[in-house]
Amino acid sequence: MSRKEFRDLAPPERARETIDSLDLGGGVERVPLREARGRVLAERVDAGIDVPGFDRASMDGYAVRARDTFGADEADTAVLDLVGAVHAGAEPDVVVEEGTAAEISTGAVMPEGADAVVMVERTDETDAGVEIRTSLAPGDHVMFAGADVAAGERALGPGTRLTPREIGLLSALGVSEVPVRDRPRVGIVSTGDELVRPGGELQSEQGQIYDVNSYTIATAVEDAGGEAELYPHVGDDYEEMGRVMVEAAEECDLVLSSGSTSASAVDVIYRVIEERGELLLHGVAVKPGKPMLIGTLEESAYVGLPGYPVSALTIFRTFVAPAVRRAAGLPEPRTATVEARMADRERYEGGRKRLMPVGLVESGPSPDVGEADGDEAGTDKPVTLAYPVDKGSGATTSLVEADGIVEVDADTAYLDAGEPVSVRLFSPDVRPPTVFGVGEDDPALSALLDRVEHPRYLGIGSRQGLRRLGRGTPDFAVVTGSIDRDVEAVDLGGWTREWGLVVPEGNPDGVEGLADLVERDLRFVNRTTDSGLRTTLSNALASVAEERGSTRHKLVESIDGFDLAVRAHESPARKVVAGRADAGLGLRTTAERLGLGFVSLGEERVSVLGNPDRIEKGGMERLREAIDEWSFEDETLPGYRR
């Protein structure tokens, strides 16, 4: 069987309709009231009993016949014989005949014959009996049976979500088990030879990676009110994979798989669907999501999601989650979508509808966007800004760098800065960060951010960080090295860190400085050009070159691995640990943490630069406080000082 091509991509609306046409369950189950929180009532519940179930005294006092008090007042009291007492939670053992009264406490059952309660404050107990200083009407201070809820009344309708108050009403009615909508059962089949479940041992040299989609989608299924079942990962045994898919279909209302890079796995899926079900749609004109499959398998629904995590979550959230919610009887949560404005102009080369992952950031009290529409410009209301996150759909980090999706129509040429957009959040619990920074990757910064609630920080390097600060999207940038770029910013403070060469434990090659890299046959590992630390290294090399009457370029050429650049602060040190380099550009703190040797080459200043338009926002105030309060002694950060 040859691999299918997606020649005719279905319009996204048809994908929605096709999924909506599938049966995702919708049965009824009975659950104990105590476990019914968040569930959705499947049937109407009418009151089966009166609440209260008896005529109930609503005051402490005396139960009487109202008729016996007619005309009584302070001057002319009615005196009744005291014939007994009735307490809450006890059956009255007294009858109130004409001319008599019984003591009664709040909540107690009205004794036979009595039709009103006189408050204790309007009475005196005397030798003659109970003296009553007021006239009563029948029903005074009595809550009649059924006055709260009467048997036969409609209590809660079908489709009602059970929150504490509904649980309370059902308790009052004595209901201990409630008929609720079944949670659609969603089976998740993991395909892909190279996937390993988190916690399993990874054979990186064999190209294995951890399975991201299974847990992500399972969690998203639960967010949507479904019940997720993970099926065992079967690796490259295709017969077994087919068997697992059929098993999942037999046990679940919906089976999900997510794309595999392996052609054979895709072929197996096709074969299973065609033999045991029906393929209703393959390929949708959205980006990402082209390779989406929709069909049936045995008696169940089947959807094949794309393989890349952000794409898989995007397609799930856009097409599948609404159907799961509907089957569960749950409305789309009000927090599932937020209104935002584009932080910057974004061009789009159309063709297919685009589901664009975006990050969110709140502007300060005085936003400088929103000019496209007069509504909020110039007001003090903070505006939520959306900026595209496009690291390539293969990146799992996009999952946490983006907050949701903006749908961009195929015929949209661009979205302007300030243009209003609706952002469908990846989960109703997603909140925009309180503060959003970009720039140099730094272990002290990592610890500092722990002191700020819900920050977002992208370690894209000093150079990219400054560039983005210049464009005004982030709240702050963290930079080091002497980067030549003029950006308007507020200095929020900073610290100094010791940098140099990270070498194997004990410095077996006896490295003493940069000269060794230039002169000797040592394998070096550098940082990428966006890193401010690399700029610091380059500046130091320029000084060495000057001393020697050479050029920096010549020195660089003689360093083996100067262009072998890795991304994060710890990455060169890891290469040293792995024995794949003799020296790496890094920090003293990293070397000490990993038990490596360190050759100090100097100190560099790390500065936190604030976006002037965002200085007033709450998260930024908290960040400033954290920088000011912070003492490096709290942390194990050798080589750092204020």
Nearer to a copy of itself, 197 or 641 (CB): 197
Tally the C-alpha atoms within 13 A of residue 146's C-alpha that lie toward its C-beta: 9
Nearer to a copy of itself, 205 or 633 (CB): 205
Residue 216 sits in the site that holds a copy of itself (CB under 8 A) = yes
The H or E element that residue 167 is part of is helix 164-172
Exposed (0-12), middle (13-18) or buried (19+): which is 13, by Cβ within 10 Å? exposed
List 13, 98, 200, 250, residue binding a copy of itself (CB under 8 A): 200
Residue 571 sits in the site that holds a copy of itself (CB under 8 A) = yes
d(CA 27, CA 628): 58
Nearer to a copy of itself, 544 or 568 (CB): 568
List the structure tokens of 303: 């959807």
Query: How many residues in the shown chain lie near a copy of itself by CB under 8 A?
Result: 134
Residue 377 sits in the site that holds a copy of itself (CB under 8 A) = no
Residue 141 sits in the site that holds a copy of itself (CB under 8 A) = no
Residue 143 sits in the site that holds a copy of itself (CB under 8 A) = yes
CA dist 426 → 70, 211, 314, 483, 500 (Å): 69, 19, 7, 36, 41
Q: For the CB of residue 186, give the shortest distance to a copy of itself in the complex, in Å.
A: 13
List 28, 137, 232, 261, residue binding a copy of itself (CB under 8 A): 261
- The 10 Å Cβ neighbour count of residue 345 is 11
Q: For the CB of residue 546, give the shortest distance to a copy of itself in the complex, in Å.
A: 30
List 21, 126, 379, 397, residue binding a copy of itself (CB under 8 A): 397
Nearer to a copy of itself, 38 or 508 (CB): 38
Q: Restricting to residues 52-111, which ones interact with a copy of itself according to CB under 8 A?
A: 52-54, 56, 58, 88-91, 105-109
Which residues make beta-bridge pairs with 355? 407
Is 220:318 a contact under the CB 8 Å cutoff? no
Residue 427 sits in the site that holds a copy of itself (CB under 8 A) = yes
Exposed (0-12), middle (13-18) or buried (19+): which is 64, by Cβ within 10 Å? buried
Tell me the window of 12-20, 269-277, 332-340, 377-385 that interacts with a copy of itself (CB under 8 A).
332-340
Q: For the CB of residue 449, give the shortest distance to a copy of itself in the complex, in Å.
A: 6
Nearer to a copy of itself, 56 or 277 (CB): 56
Residue 207 sits in the site that holds a copy of itself (CB under 8 A) = yes
List 95, 126, 198, 558, residue binding a copy of itself (CB under 8 A): 198
Q: For the CB of residue 90, give the shortest distance to a copy of itself in the complex, in Å.
A: 6
Residue 232 sits in the site that holds a copy of itself (CB under 8 A) = no
Residue 210 sits in the site that holds a copy of itself (CB under 8 A) = yes
Is 591:497 a contact under the CB 8 Å cutoff? no
Residue 137 sits in the site that holds a copy of itself (CB under 8 A) = no
d(CA 271, CA 255): 15
Residue 334 sits in the site that holds a copy of itself (CB under 8 A) = yes
d(CA 3, CA 577): 43
Is 278:295 a contact under the CB 8 Å cutoff? yes
List 4, 14, 161, 520, residue binding a copy of itself (CB under 8 A): 161
437: Cβ contacts below 8 Å, ≥ 6 apart:
455, 456, 457, 458, 465, 474, 475, 476, 477, 478, 608, 623
**Strand ranges in 426-489 using DSSP code E only, listed in sequence order:** 435-439, 455-458, 476-479
d(CA 548, CA 544): 6
Q: For the CB of residue 544, give the shortest distance to a copy of itself in the complex, in Å.
A: 26
- Cα-Cα end-to-end distance for the chain: 66
Residue 378 sits in the site that holds a copy of itself (CB under 8 A) = no
List 10, 118, 149, 385, residue binding a copy of itself (CB under 8 A): 149
Nearer to a copy of itself, 383 or 545 (CB): 383
In angstroms, what is the C-alpha Rg of the chain? 36
Nearer to a copy of itself, 199 or 549 (CB): 199
Q: For the CB of residue 512, give the shortest distance to a copy of itself in the complex, in Å.
A: 26
Residue 14 sits in the site that holds a copy of itself (CB under 8 A) = no
Is 118:132 a contact under the CB 8 Å cutoff? yes
Nearer to a copy of itself, 7 or 347 (CB): 7
List 171, 482, 529, 636, residue binding a copy of itself (CB under 8 A): 171
Q: Restricting to residues 503-532, which ones interact with a copy of itself according to CB under 8 A?
A: none
List the structure tokens of 583: 């020296």
